[in-house]
Amino acid sequence: MKRPFLLALACALLLTGCTGPAQPTHTPTSDPTAESTTFAMDTVMTFRLYGGTEEDLTAVTSRILSLEQDLSVTLEDSQVYALNHSGGEPVTAGEDFLALLALAKELGNRTGGALDVTMYPVVKAWGFTTSEYHIPDEDTLSALLANVDYTSVTVEGDQVTLPAKMELDLGAIAKGYAGEMAANLLRERGVTSAILNLGGNVQTVGSKADGSPWRIGVQDPQQTTGGYLGVLEIRDQAMVTSGGYERYFEEDGVRYWHIMDPHTGAPARSGLVSVTIVGDKGGLCDGLSTSLFVLGREKALDYWRTYGGFEAILIDDQNNIWVTGGLKNNFTLVADSPYTLNIVEE
């Protein structure tokens, strides 16, 4: 019996040698049936639909463009522009505008004002709207901060009032909300697999064509573009990151980024350099990524424990990563990572 057994073994080895190369390590994703890359809402948007049609793509694009038309702070016939130039008189707001105002107010209240949609004049003073950056002096900032207060925005029915001298900008939540609305529209139209990237905000519909989750890279905050520090697998959810590397300028060796602390009127220095939020609602994820960045790790995790409904990846300036419990089986660091991974349980 000895010889046949050895022969069988050799053959078994041969067999594995035969079938090995026929199985690819990554199952190839089938090609998108409709895709586009466009500019909208001051950013680049890439949409890929797997199974959807060009009509679905057109429907999504026009939904996003109409949101931009209503919510842009610079387009002169937008509802937000009308409010900012109303001199304190009531302005009629559409459904999306009202939904975003309600979200902004809720997040403002829950974060102790870490998200304030009336920060626009301060952001302008730093030059982040024009890329002509400069550091405003103390007096300028305190004068501007006197007119920053999201609680002064009042809503009655569809009438919105903003005190004169104040300016509102929904930029911190509008892109996430746009992704959420686009995903809803695709689902209504029967699209079961799609991935949208709205200027770095990822919105997924369903899972990949083969049923596996989407694999999304988390930008490495120490690299400007492209490099990622880990991969998160998600299905049918939004994933939004705010980081100090997105938009910034440097003066005398100090980096000034676009994420502002409404209490100081200056770039938020909380120790965090990047916050990623994963959840079902893109608008909420977008607002949380900004406001939890401002709050810092301790308060951000308190928020997560108190309100829940989302998961987070926090990265600090000491190369630590904190991943909330719900993501621990879905997040993978790249090999030889300089970062230390910590799992946060409730």
Partner 1 sequence: MNIKSNKFWVIVIAAVLALCLVAVGIWTWWRNSQPEEEGLIAVVRLDGRIVAAVDLNKVTENYTQTFSGESGNSNTVEFAPGQVRVHDATCPDQICVSQGWADRTTLLPIACLPNSLIVEVAAAQDLGLDSISR
Tell me the C-alpha distance between 215 and 217, whole Å.
7
Among 51, 90, 200, 326, binds partner 1 (CB under 8 A): 200
User: What minimum distance in Å lies between the beta carbon of 126 and partner 1?
Assistant: 14
Decide whether 186 or 232 has the Cβ nearer to partner 1: 232
Among 124, 208, 235, 269, binds partner 1 (CB under 8 A): 208
User: What minimum distance in Å lies between the beta carbon of 289 and partner 1?
Assistant: 9
> How buried is 201 (Cβ within 10 angstroms: 0-12 exposed, 13-18 middle, 19+ buried)?
buried
Tell me the C-alpha distance between 324 and 343, whole Å.
6
Residues 1-40 that bind partner 1 (CB under 8 A): 1, 4, 7-8, 11-12, 14-15, 18-19, 21-22, 26, 28-29, 37-39
What would the DSSP string read from start to end of 210-241? TSPPEEEEEEPTTSSSS-EEEEEEESS-EEEE
51 binds partner 1 (CB under 8 A): no
Give the tokens for residue 32: 């998108």
User: What minimum distance in Å lies between the beta carbon of 226 and partner 1?
Assistant: 5
Task: Single out the residue of 151, 172, 114 nearest to residue 292, CA to CA.
Answer: 114
Among 174, 186, 195, 288, binds partner 1 (CB under 8 A): 195
User: What minimum distance in Å lies between the beta carbon of 123 and partner 1?
Assistant: 15
Tell me the C-alpha distance between 116 and 262, whole Å.
6
232 binds partner 1 (CB under 8 A): yes
- The count of residues interacting with partner 1 (CB under 8 A) is 51
Tell me the C-alpha distance between 184 and 250, whole Å.
40
61 binds partner 1 (CB under 8 A): no
Q: Is 154 in a helix, a strand, or coil?
A: strand
φ, ψ (nearest 5 deg) of residue 47: -120, 130
Among 214, 303, 304, 339, binds partner 1 (CB under 8 A): 214
Decide whether 93 or 323 has the Cβ nearer to partner 1: 323
Decide whether 26 or 76 has the Cβ nearer to partner 1: 26
- Contact in structure between 87 and 164 (CB atoms under 8 Å): yes
Instruction: Name every residue whose Cβ is closer than 8 Å to that of residue 212 and which is 6 or more positions away in sequence.
Output: 27
Instruction: Tell me the C-alpha to C-alpha distance, in Å, between residue 135 and each of 4, 291, 294.
Output: 82, 22, 19
77 binds partner 1 (CB under 8 A): no
- Residues engaged in binding partner 1 (CB under 8 A): 1, 4, 7-8, 11-12, 14-15, 18-19, 21-22, 26, 28-29, 37-39, 42-44, 46, 130-132, 195, 197, 200-202, 208, 214-219, 224-226, 228, 231-232, 239-241, 243, 245-247, 276
